[in-house]
Structure 1
Amino acid sequence: MRTVLFALLLVVLPVLGTAQAADPANPLITDHGLFRPLVIVSPDRDDDYQRMRTLLGASQAKFQARDMLLYRVENGRGYRNDMPMTRFETQALLDALALRDDMPLTTVLVGKDGGKKMQLEGFVAPETVYHLIDQMPMRAAERD
């Protein structure tokens, strides 16, 4: 009986683990393998957040050269490349990354493989993100 239960758990647990990631409203699903999403969550438009947005805008060529895509969640409203997302897409994005819209300024880098590569609170300089991406094996392969 325990063997059957164990075998059943081996089949069911992986399905449960991907159920959240497979939420059809999750916009990260369409990015998998194509982009490196950078997700910035901010409860308000504080100075650090504004500075990050300005620096990202000023380094747009570097951002695009790394196949990045910007998601922002400001005051609970989500945006994908400055286009508004539905509240369902916004919540699915937050759920997939285990984030909340009321948390302090938080930046998450998601790799092309869909995994979290970085999660930091507070101000994050774009150069920090670019440096991290440039150290990734997939990025090195892309440059070859």
Structure 2
Amino acid sequence: MSKRLKFAVFALWLAVPLAAAAVESNPLVAERWKTRPVVVVVPAPGDALLARVESALRQTATREAFLDREMVLYTVVGGKGRRNGRALSATHTGALLNALQLDPAGPPTFLLIGKDGGIKMTEGPDVDLQAVFAEIDRMPMRRR
């Protein structure tokens, strides 16, 4: 076997566990088929998108609608991640951002992820949670 081929095989052997580790550290993998994650990524704590979502979820009816649809909230604020208010490790936060190809310093972003793990909706600061709920209610899994 040539040195180049040996090196290529060795590099592939090293890369497979690293890729698998990146997938395993993505917290969305554990949510698949169980919940509908909402991911809010904003560069700073005072961002209007984050304030809008948090304010809406403080309202009882909105919070109940959120829970009824089996949703969970992931936030990444200034690069620090949380799931339903509980801190995520830097590894999990990085894997989440990498999987969704989001920049923590980029524009404020709201994503709805389906139970199948696919991105169902992408919004900005003007997101309307009632429209998000309506979108979920049109989904085949929700209709069942």
Q: TM-score, normalised by structure 1?
A: 0.80
Whichever of the two has the greater Rg, that structure is 2
Matched, 1:100 2:94: no
Which stretch has the larger CA shift, 71-80 or 120-129? 120-129
Tell me which moved more, 45-54 or 73-82. 45-54
Alpha-carbon deviations, 1:43-83, whole Å to 9, x = none? 11223421221102211100000000100000110001100
CA distance in 2, matches of 1:41, 1:30: 19
Cα separation, 2, equivalents of 1:48 and 1:73: 12
For the residue of structure 2 that corresponds to 1:131, the secondary structure is helix
Count of residues in correspondence between the two structures: 124
Correspondence 1:30 to 2:30 = yes
On the 8 A contact 1:25/1:89 being kept in 2, the answer is: yes
Whole-angstrom distance in 2 between the partners of 1:21 and 1:113: 20
Q: Within the alignment, does 1:55 sit opposite 2:56 as a pair?
A: yes
User: What CA distance in whole angstroms lies between the structure 2 residues aligned with 1:21 and 1:119?
Assistant: 27
Q: Which amino acid aligns with 1:25?
A: S
Q: How does 1:37-116 map to 2 (within 5 A)?
A: 37-44=37-44, 45-58=46-59, 59-116=62-119
* Structure 2 gap segments, 5+ residues each: 1-15
Deviation string 1:106-134 (CA, Å, 9 cap, x unpaired) is 00010000111011222212111101100
Question: Identity, % of aligned pairs?
Answer: 40
1:133 and 2:136 equivalent?
yes
Tell me, yes or no, if the aligned pair for 2:81 and 2:88 is still in contact at 8 Å: yes
Q: Distance in 2 between matches of 1:26 and 1:57?
A: 27
